[in-house]
Amino acid sequence: CFSCHAEKRGQFVWEHEPATDNCANCHSSHGSNHADMLVQKAPFLCQNCHSSQGHPAIAYDRPCINNRSESMLLGRSCMNCHGQIHGSNHPSGSTLQR
């Protein structure tokens, strides 16, 4: 995978363990009907490992960047805010946010 996707390889200050373990934990190398060749659509893929205790598995309506909550309700769900899924070098990046 890393011969073409070198930017996804760590070492990152903050690492997302499934991404460092095996790309196939989340991606299908043979293609997928989901964005980024994911094996399952988010948020369902994320919820295979992450419980909904931190964020309920319902429409999440807490203000975030620029007090815009609707960005958490649509589209890529978890990855609307947690965009650095493969890892982050940002000092406050433990939540893998943008």
Average pLDDT, stretch 15-26?
A: 88
**Nearest by Cα to 42 from 87, 82, 93, 8:** 82
| Residue 26 pLDDT | 93
Mean pLDDT score across all residues of the chain: 77
Q: 36-53: per-residue pLDDT in tens?
A: 899 998 888 888 888 766
Residue 20 has pLDDT above 90, yes or no: no
Q: Is residue 33 part of a domain?
A: yes
Q: Is residue 1 part of a domain?
A: no
Q: Is residue 60 part of a domain?
A: yes
Q: Is residue 22 part of a domain?
A: yes
Reported as type and span, the H/E element at residue 87 is strand 87-88
Q: Is residue 32 part of a domain?
A: yes
Domain extent for 47: 6-95
Residue 12 has pLDDT above 80, yes or no: yes
Average pLDDT, stretch 22-40?
A: 91
Q: Is residue 54 part of a domain?
A: yes
The total number of structural domains in the chain stands at 1
Q: Is residue 67 part of a domain?
A: yes
